[in-house]
Amino acid sequence: MDVHNELGPGWDEWDYHKAMIQALEKQGHSVGSHDRKNLIHRDVSVDLFELDILVDNLIILELKHLKEDFNPVHFTQLINYLKCWDVNLGLLINFGLNQLRYKRVPFSETNASLEYIGYWDELPRSDREIVAQAVKELLTVVGSGYGADVFKKLLKTELDFMAVSFEKLSIIPTYGDMRFGERDVDAISFGAKSVVSVSASSSATDLSYLKTYMKQSGRPYGILVNLDKSKVQVRGVL
């Protein structure tokens, strides 16, 4: 609040970052700035995280300068950092509005449950076994908590470790006799039959996207891995 009151909104995020470091150090806190850490899985660097400020090795501060309130991406970003640094508390701070906005973001490791839903039993057995084994292993070795984008990278790394052949899905959308340009979509494919995607919400939109990719690629089977704080659902889609 002191930094916000003194500077006011409208400056670069880095200005608030430097001011926060000075304010915290003046109060005797230990401050780490832009610390980096690799997320390692199966001896592979899956992602590189860079936090804003780490205070006393206890609290991670994620600073923003936004003209609107926080959105879910910001919470996911901070939770990724909390999990990777093994820290239990973070603060999202927005200096971009007339009044300072902040959100307390706690994190504790939980054992997420795993359930199979939809048309799971009707999918090809080999595809089911591959995805089930990979997801189970990730929950055992890495645990839950990372966002969908990170989990996608972890899943691909685990499939590589399992020596499973997969590829990023590329599709040429068609309408009648029109063929649009080829484009990569946010999914992977196994052979010529199954499409796999990962989401962090149970919205119908994620499911409809997957069905679109299945239809336009001519693949009859889909698997949607949905992440939640306390559970992971693996949905079979026809």
Average pLDDT over residues 159-170: 94
| 215 and 119 assigned to the same domain | yes
pLDDT, position 230: 74
Question: Domain limits at 27?
Answer: 2-106
Tokens of 55: 């205070």
* Stretch among 19-33, 83-97, 197-211, 214-228 having the lowest mean pLDDT: 197-211
Tokens of 163: 């020596």
Exposure b/e, 205-214, CB count within 10 A at least 16 = b: ebbebbeebb
* Backbone torsions φ then ψ of 138, nearest 5 degrees: -65, -40
| 74 and 132 assigned to the same domain | no
Task: Please state whether the predicted TM-score (pTM) of the whole model is above 0.85.
Answer: yes
| 102 and 117 assigned to the same domain | no
Distance CA 80, CA 150 (A): 8
| 74 and 125 assigned to the same domain | no
| 156 and 48 assigned to the same domain | no
Taking only the tens place, the pLDDT of each residue in 184-236 is 999 999 877 899 999 987 678 999 999 999 999 999 999 999 987 678 999 99
Query: What's the CATH code of the domain at 84?
Result: 3.90.320.10
DSSP element (H, E) containing 8: none
| 120 and 185 assigned to the same domain | yes
Tokens of 234: 């693996």
Whether residue 20 has pLDDT greater than 70: yes
Taking only the tens place, the pLDDT of each residue in 116-126 is 999 999 999 99
| 97 and 59 assigned to the same domain | yes
| Average confidence score pLDDT of the chain | 94
pLDDT, position 194: 93
Q: Amino acid letter at 218?
A: G
Helix axes 72-85, 148-161, angle to 10 degrees: 50
pLDDT, position 191: 72
What's the structural domain count of the chain?
2
Q: What is the DSSP string of 13-50?
A: HHHHHHHHHHHHHHTT--EEES-EEEEEETTEEEEEEE
Res. 76 pLDDT band, cuts 50 70 90? very high
Of the three residues 71, 88, 106, the one that is the final residue of a domain is 106
Of the three residues 57, 81, 106, the one that is the final residue of a domain is 106
Average pLDDT over residues 38-49: 96
pLDDT, position 229: 66
Of the three residues 90, 106, 122, the one that is the final residue of a domain is 106
Average pLDDT over residues 72-96: 95
| 98 and 120 assigned to the same domain | no
Distance CA 194, CA 225 (A): 13
| 55 and 148 assigned to the same domain | no
| 145 and 118 assigned to the same domain | yes
Closest by alpha carbon to 65, among 27, 127, 8, 10?
A: 10
* Backbone torsions φ then ψ of 213, nearest 5 degrees: -65, -40
| 33 and 122 assigned to the same domain | no
